[in-house]
Amino acid sequence: MKAKIHVTLKNGILDPQGKTIHHGLEMLGFTGIREVRAGKLLEIFFEGMNREQAQQATENACKKLLANPVIDDYDFVIVDDEK
C-alpha cells in the first residue's frame, strides 16, 4: 500500500512560493494564469498493512506531523504500491 498525500496552504494564507512561480511563468511568456498555489506531494509506503490500517496511519501522520492544521489543508489517497 502507498499513501499519496497532497498538502497545500489554506485559502487566504499568503503563498510566497506560488507568487514567485506565477511571476516566473509570466516572465517566460505564459499568459492567462490567474494564480499559482504551491504545495507538496508526499508518499508513504506501507508494509504489512491493509487499506484501512494504511488510511488510519496516514490520517494520524497528517494530523500529527505532515500538515499544520492552522495554515494547511491536506487530502490523500491510498493506492496499491506498484514497484
pLDDT value of residue 83: 60
* Category of 25 on φ-ψ map: left (φ > 0), alpha (ψ -120 to 50) or beta: alpha
Question: In the chain, what are the domains?
Answer: 2-79 (3.30.1280.10)
Q: What is the pLDDT of residues 38-67, one digit of tens each?
A: 999 999 999 999 999 999 999 999 999 999
pLDDT (mean) for 3-29 = 97
Q: What whole-number distance in Å separates Cα of residue 36 and Cα of residue 54?
A: 31
pLDDT value of residue 81: 79
Average pLDDT, the chain: 96
Distant-in-sequence, close-in-space partners of 51: CB < 8 Å, separation ≥ 6: 1, 78
pTM of the model: 0.87
Q: Quote the DSSP letter at residue 29.
A: T
Q: What is the CB-side half-sphere exposure of residue 57 using CA atoms within 13 A?
A: 17
Q: Could you tell me where the DSSP H helices lie in the chain?
A: 16-27, 51-61
pLDDT (mean) for 28-34 = 97
